[in-house]
Amino acid sequence: MSVLLGRIAPQVILPLFYKFEPIDDPELKSRMEKLAREGHFQLQGVYRFNMSKETKKANAAFTGMGKSRRIIIGDTLLENYSLDEIEAVFAHEVGHYVHKHLHKLLLWGTIETFVGFYLVAQLYEALLQQFGFRSPADLAALPLITIILTLYTLIVSPVSNVLSRYFERQADRYALEHSSNPAAFSAALQKLSEQNLTDTEPHPLIEFLFHSHPSVQSRIKMAEKFSKKKD
């Protein structure tokens, strides 16, 4: 089912919600196709869509599977960013694809879920009698399950965020290595943070506990170091 949805979504489902048009800028199209070739995936085409009807945020991505894979770029990105900046944003997305981050996150999520169910069940059984409940089916014990699940989530979420931030840094490095102008990556990050109302430098503890992405300032510093080494 997921494979079928992946194939039909770009041509059947997404057009129900957004208007898609082929990109007519030859330079932009050429750059996107070059990134696709370097990422070793087939491409049906490069399209713009009216993202502005839903949000002021900007983004680019690729959708679909196999021969139905498309690059889609929001009009909010096309109208406010330079060619170099758009290329850097999409190169980051290609980095996620090349490093198979989606597959790895799905695997981690599956492991996290099954381990969570097992630990919650074991702890629930162990605590039932201590709290005076007669059996696992006792409805009065439902708040106990909620408390255990909440504690498990509080413990596991920071671990998931550490993994996610590591993947984001990998995708950042890929973008810096494969885009034409590494300096444009920093400019794009700054624009995106302002457009998306992002806290660019949260407290380290807040970032560790709650953020799935590294801080914008740390990503910009990494890009600046990369540019200096390249020069």
**Position 94, amino acid:** V
User: What is the pTM assigned to this prediction?
Assistant: 0.85
Write down the pLDDT at residue 30: 92
Judgement on whether residues 126 and 220 belong to the same structural domain of the protein? yes
Nearest to 6 by CA among 69, 96, 72: 69
Judgement on whether residues 54 and 136 belong to the same structural domain of the protein? no
Judgement on whether residues 50 and 112 belong to the same structural domain of the protein? no
Nearest to 51 by CA among 43, 42, 41, 61: 61
pLDDT digits (tens, 9 = 90+) for 68-117: 677 888 888 999 999 999 999 999 989 999 999 988 998 999 999 999 99
Distance CA 121, CA 164 (A): 27
pLDDT value at 1 more than 50: no
Judgement on whether residues 212 and 117 belong to the same structural domain of the protein? yes
pLDDT value at 145 more than 60: yes
pLDDT digits (tens, 9 = 90+) for 13-60: 565 567 888 888 999 989 988 998 999 887 878 888 888 888 888 888
Residue 206 lies in a domain: yes
pLDDT digits (tens, 9 = 90+) for 181-218: 888 999 999 999 988 888 899 999 999 999 999 999 99
Nearest to 176 by CA among 104, 99, 87: 87
Domain enclosing residue 62, as ranges: 2-80
Cα 198 from chain centroid (whole Å): 15
pLDDT level of residue 165 (50, 70, 90 thresholds):
very high
Judgement on whether residues 143 and 188 belong to the same structural domain of the protein? yes
- The answer to whether 15 and 72 have CB atoms below 8 angstroms apart is no
Judgement on whether residues 157 and 226 belong to the same structural domain of the protein? yes
Number of domains in the chain: 2
Write down the pLDDT at residue 7: 40
Judgement on whether residues 59 and 111 belong to the same structural domain of the protein? no
DSSP state of 132: T
Q: Catalytic: which of 85, 93, 168, 207?
A: 93
Residue 92 lies in a domain: no
pLDDT level of residue 231 (50, 70, 90 thresholds):
low
The answer to whether residue 194 is catalytic is no
